[in-house]
Structure 1
Amino acid sequence: MELFYKAQTEDGLSKSEILEGLKKSLEGKTVKKVLLIPPDFTRFHSNAGLITNLYYHLLKDQAQVDILPALGTHEPMSANEITEMYGDIPHDRFIVHNWREDIVHVGEVPGSYISSITDGLWDQGVGMEVNRLIMDPTYDLILSIGQVVPHEVIGMANHAKNVFVGCGGKTTINQSHMIGAVYGMERMMGKDHTPVRKVLDYALEHFLKDRPLYFVLTVTTAPKNVIKTHGLFIGNTRKVLEEAITVSQEKNINWLDKGIKKCVVYLDPKEFKSTWLGNKSIYRTRMAIEDGGELIVLAAGVTKFGEDSKIDELIRKYGYCGRLKVLELFKQNEDLKKNMSAAAHLIHSSSDSRFKITYAVKNITQAEVKKSTLIQQNTMKLLKDTIQIPYNQGGTH
């Protein structure tokens, strides 16, 4: 089946228009047990919360509806976040994805194929893992819900990524992130058919082709924090992704005539609580900032480095020390080899001395930062209740 529902508008789809599309996607289906896979709170502006709520109310009287937020390596959502994002859905319908334990191996993408799509930069096979519920034969409908938007690891987020990374295991997440880092973020951001996308396409085609899996993809903007859904695409083939990418490339990418000398990014405290997430401010601006420029990140909600304790420990230990240094450390240290996504994050989060980055935070103390290698030779200033951590000397901070 190809794309079977598509709606686009410049001004944003209304709730009734979105509901009409969801009803059409369920026509002719008799289901008893449904799994919804929406994004977590870090994709609040995807409008996937509303869509998940509408699907739940459309299905709850005829089927058991379970909801598995695609956490990836993120920390579980709080009760308040669940209510704010998904509305009146009972909290007992939500299942927490544990990327280290709740997974099953479904196959391996061969190293020879990966070498051919990465210019030989990576030749190891990638083991593909997903949450065990995705392979549970008692589900007769699985709806993967989410936003297509430029992304540093894969080029454009969502589709198979929501399943294999958002609901994936340690092996898949680690290796896919490292492939993206080694290949180079600047070669992929905002593009389709990147190496990481091809790996996930291969896995979807070969390992999940028999699952009742459909994709519900949005393209949104949020001017003045008001969500506008410019596109809604529903179906079970790659055509759904391609249609959404076309709209997202128009709505979510800004082209500049010249580089930015100084850029200020504000991180919503409700969404960004770690540098693991907050460094999207770096990923999304680094191609636009000119050499010698400056990025200032206002991060009042950031209280830690990693989303889980192990990743946090590794970031504190090695720091954002630049691509070449991280690759050297990766070869020498087993803890980075076992946590490739952390190594990839360190690479993505460095400016490699090209521009200065200052993080302004309220809830990480000077003493806490000094204990880590994050600042290395750099200086740190306490400005009232704000710590300023400049990047320089190889992108360390």
Structure 2
Amino acid sequence: MLYYAAGGENTVIDDTELKGIIETVLKKLDAPEKVLALPPDMSRAHSQAGKITRYLYDYFGDTLTDIMPAIGTHAPMSKEETDKMFSGVPRDLFREHRWRKDLSTLGTVPAQFVKEQTGGRIDFDWPAQVNSMLTDGGHDLILSVGQVVPHEVIGLANYNKNIFVGTGGQEGINKSHFVGAVYGMEKIMGRADNPVRAILNYASEHFGSKLPRLIYILTVIGRAEDGSLPIRGLFIGDDHECFYKAAELSLKVNFTMLDRPIKKAVVYLDPEEFKSTWIGNKSVYRTRMAIADGGELIVLAPGVKEFGEDPENDRIIRKYGYVKTSEVLRLVNENEDLQQNLGVAAHLIHGSPEGRFSITYCPGHLSREEITSAGYTFADLDEITQRYNPDTLKDGWNTLPDGEEIYYVSNPAVGLWAVPERFS
């Protein structure tokens, strides 16, 4: 059922209207006795999910008993991040999703279905796993909050990804990411329908009845000329229609089709949002279809201090580096640690330029040796920032005083960029 759906390319839903819409929808529901909220973490703060979660707390009060950020394999939120993103919400309501344990398996998507969806590339089955709090927490309403935006693993983020990946388990997360990487992220990004989404939709349709009542609150966020990130659309519902309507608007708002390839792209990673290449490589994923053959991507990453958000993932990334897809697949066949961590294998594929363009990383807290051993070129952040200063660059094409032309992206998480020949 679709409870609310509105938005447009120039729509602005302000705080007052947002809160009013949410309260109006919640009043239509049977009064729940125990509510669980599933917002994203700090890496998706621009989703406005922190604000929405505060509105849920204001409305439900003590009935909202648990808030679990759907972090997937990301590092748990710090107290400081929680206080900043969810201002005004009591810290003692927050629960940590431990993706290697505390799990319930709702069912299994058969290997034959996975094989059909991937054109025969993958033939393993897929477990529909969620945090056991969703099944055993005694809640009668779950509210999943987040942003629909182009995504490298599942085409467009959120909806049931927030459930089966955001609160999912190691096997399910690893396999879903590997499916997307092997099928080809450039055939997935920006597409609402793709093999990974089909697998998750199968899980929702066949096993979703094992969960309490589940309602999605989905935003579509745009970028205004002044650099602000207004809500362009709001979609609230409990089925596929809610997602697909949000996805349709997201492609209009978040997708930029360029008339020519980028020879040099400069991407800035906000240090409060991007602390690892695991998340920071959105700079690679989201711009790769716009970068010219032989081009260069420069990543300004003042907050990046590690590769993986998890110690084991970090170790594996350091061990193998961001090599070509063919090399990753060979390494998977030969190494048990990659076989047991297919999500990391997928991440290595996602972060590889495949020899088509170069990537220069300018991290705030990683050494030259660490960056180069991972397969990237290192450059000093202060030196590069003197030439490509985020304070003076504007999003899009820029011509520097000496005539050099670059394309600047101030936040790769809010969009997808491509040229027609790489996006059909």
Q: Same fold (TM over 0.5)?
A: yes
Is 1:118 matched up with 2:118? Answer: yes
Residue of structure 2 equivalent to 1:3: 2
Equivalent in the alignment of 1:278: 280
Aligned residue identity for 1:130: V
Tell me: CA distance 1:94–1:353, structure 2 relative to 1, closer, same or farther (3 Å): same
Aligned match of 1:294: 296
User: Once the 2 structures are TM-superposed, how far is the Cα of residue 94 of structure 1 from its aligned partner?
Assistant: 0.4
Shift of 1:231: 0.5
Partner of 1:70: 70
* Secondary structure in structure 1 of the residue aligned to 2:23: helix
**Match in the other structure for 1:40:** 41
Deviations 1:237-272 (CA, angstroms, capped at 9, x unpaired)? 100001100110000000111111110000000000
SS of the residue 1:297 aligns to:
strand
Q: CA deviation at 1:11?
A: 3.7
C-alpha separation in 2, matches of 1:47 and 1:383: 30
Matches within 5 A, 1:198-217: 198-210=198-210, 211-217=212-218
CA contact (8 A) 2:221 2:231 kept: yes
| Residue correspondence of structure 1 range 304-323 to structure 2 within 5 A | 304-323=306-325
Shift of 1:127: 1.3
Matches within 5 A, 1:48-87: 48-61=49-62, 63-87=63-87
Q: Please report how far the alpha carbon of residue 83 of structure 1 lies from its aligned counterpart in structure 2 after TM superposition.
A: 1.5
Contact 1:56-1:65 at 8 Å conserved across structures: no
1:31 counterpart = 2:29: no
SS at 1:357 equivalent: strand
Same amino acid, percent of matched pairs: 47
Task: Count residues with an aligned counterpart.
Answer: 381
Flag the 1:282–1:34 CA change in 2: closer, same or farther, 3 A. same
Residue 369 of structure 1, CA deviation = 4.8
> Residues 150 and 252 of structure 1 are in contact (CA less than 8 Å); yes or no, is this contact kept in structure 2?
yes
Deviates more, 1:291-300 or 1:11-20: 11-20
- Given the alignment, which residue of 318, 326, 329 partners 1:327? 329
Maintained 8 Å contact 1:5/1:24: no
Within 5 Å, give how 1:199-278 maps onto structure 2: 199-210=199-210, 211-223=212-224, 224-278=226-280
Instruction: State the one-letter code of the partner of 1:165.
Output: V
Secondary structure of 2:233's partner? Answer: strand
Instruction: State whether structure 2 residue 127 is matched by structure 1 residue 127.
Output: yes
- Contact 2:274 / 2:280 at 8 angstroms: preserved in 1? yes
**Equivalents in 2 of 1:195, 1:343: separation in Å?**
18
Report the 3-state secondary structure (helix = DSSP H, G, I; strand = E; otherwise coil) of the residue aligned with 1:138.
Answer: coil
Q: Please, which moves more after superposition, 2-11 or 17-26?
A: 2-11
Higher relative contact order (CA 8 A, sep 6+): 2
- Give SS of 2:294's match: strand
Structure 1 residues 161 and 384: CA distance shift in structure 2, 3 A: closer
Please give the alpha-carbon distance, in whole angstroms, between the structure 1 residues aligned to 2:61 and 2:237: 21
1:343 aligns with 2:345: yes
- Is residue 154–residue 188 contact of structure 1 (8 Å, CA) maintained in 2? yes
Summarize deviations over 1:30-50 as a string: whole Å, max 9, x none. Answer: 111100000100111101111
Distance in 1 between residues matched to 2:116 and 2:364, nearest whole Å: 46
Q: 281-290 or 26-35: which moved more?
A: 26-35
Find the aligned partners of 1:287 and 1:31 in 2 and give their Cα distance: 45
Contact 1:111 1:123 in 2 (8 A): yes
> Gaps spanning 5+ residues in structure 2: where?
386-424
The question of whether the paired residues in 1 share the 8 Å contact of 2:361 and 2:377 is answered with no
C-alpha deviation, 1:20, in angstroms: 1.9
In structure 2, distance between residues paired with 1:28 and 1:297: 46
Residues 19, 354 of structure 1: alpha-carbon distance in 2 compared, 3 angstrom cutoff: same
Question: Would the alpha carbon gap of residues 306 and 137 (structure 1) be closer, same or farther in structure 2, given more than 3 Å must change?
Answer: closer
1:382 positional shift: 5.5
Distance 2:353 2:322 in 1: 9
Task: Please give the alpha-carbon distance, in whole angstroms, between the structure 1 residues aligned to 2:39 and 2:156.
Answer: 17
Query: Do the aligned partners of 2:263 and 2:292 also contact (CA within 8 Å) in 1?
Result: yes
SS of corresponding position for 2:133: helix
Determine the structure 2 residue equivalent to 1:162. Answer: 162
Distance 2:69 2:276 in 1: 19
Per the alignment, in what secondary structure is the counterpart of residue 287 of structure 1?
A: helix
Pair 1:326–1:180, CA change in 2 (3 A): same
1:140-194 deviation per Cα after TM superposition (whole angstroms, max 9, x unaligned): 1100000000000000100000000010000100000000000000101000110
Q: Which residue of 1 aligns with 2:139?
A: 139
Amino acid at match of 1:161: K
Residue type of the alignment partner of 2:201 = D
Q: What is the CA distance between 1:362 and its match in structure 2?
A: 2.2
Query: Structure 2 vs 1, CA of residues 346 and 96 (structure 1 numbering), >3 Å: closer, same or farther?
Result: same
Where structure 1 has 5 or more consecutive residues not aligned to the other structure, the ranges are 388-397
- Partners of 2:274 and 2:50 in 1: CA distance: 18
Task: Tell me the distance in 1 between the aligned counterparts of 2:89 and 2:384.
Answer: 38
- 1:69/1:97 contact within 8 Å kept: yes
Provide the residue aligned with 1:391 in structure 2.
none
